Amino acid sequence: MTQAIAPWSPYLEAEPILSNGRRTLVSAFGDLVFSQRQFSRHELPEIFDAPEDEGENDACRHLVLLDAALLTSQFILGKIASFARPFGGGEVVAIDVAQWEVDDPLPRIATGTINLERWADPEAPPTHRIFVDVADFDKWLAGLAPPGPLSDAEIEAVVDPRLRAARALAFSMAKPVRKSRTPVEVNQRADVSPAEPSNPAPGGLMTIKEVRELTMLGRSTIYRMMDDGSFPEPTKIGRSVRWPRAVIDGWIAAQAKGSGFEGA
């Protein structure tokens, strides 16, 4: 009898399972959420284990659910071929597009498995591992438009109340930033950020690397300023932290209005 697979536990496995011209659904979906949300595959168990909070936990799950729906739509449309292989190995068979017409495909994505005979029964024990066609998936992922900034509602769901207040205050004081200082001068002053960074982050949530590029502050400077309350705190997502782009933009604007630039 097949042992139950805990949802999202396959995303913690390090070694890939190989198949000729195919890759596991788990590895494919892991690449999708990383490219779209910058969530590592290993963060998914924590995201779905986190309690409901009508805040950042729910927002993170919502983003992953959007990606799951997006990928499932490609299976239904026949844009990406999917396959099933028995546990332990054996004959690989195509999964018909109709077998993706289920009320909730997330359990399949969470385990990377399917019961091929009882595919419409969500309670059926899994019998096969799901694979996707490498060429189909890579072509689709490469052509996928990068995600734009989060909507106002999504940002409000991710950012805690203190940061929401800080963002509103920063935007209320925003004005154009002087460009007379060089990057070297900015790095010498921890409270100053450049007006036009050379490599702004396109997404709604930013990594520490993207924050450094946008503000031209060093990592240690950012964390030191967080300690003394002069730089926004990030929000924790799984094992990682992210800063909403709107918060950092607001902080930069506030520096320009306040003590960021002195003199005329």
pLDDT at residue 53 above 80?
Answer: no
pLDDT digits (tens, 9 = 90+) for 13-50: 876 787 889 999 999 999 999 988 888 899 999 999 98
Kindly report the average pLDDT of the chain as a whole number.
Answer: 78
3-state class of 131 per DSSP? strand
Sequence-ordered list of residues with C-beta below 8 angstroms from that of 20, at least 6 positions apart, any chain: none
CA distance 59 to 61: 5
Sequence-ordered list of residues with C-beta below 8 angstroms from that of 9, at least 6 positions apart, any chain: 45, 111
Q: What is the pLDDT of residue 247?
A: 87
Kind plus residue range of the DSSP H or E element containing 129: strand 128-133
72: left (phi over 0), alpha (psi -120 to 50) or beta: alpha
pLDDT at residue 1 above 50?
Answer: no
Identify which of 199, 209, 219 has the alpha carbon closest to the alpha carbon of residue 242.
209
pLDDT at residue 174 above 80?
Answer: no
What values do phi and psi take at 237, rounded to 5? -125, 105
Task: Parse the chain into domains and list their residue ranges.
Answer: 9-142, 152-257
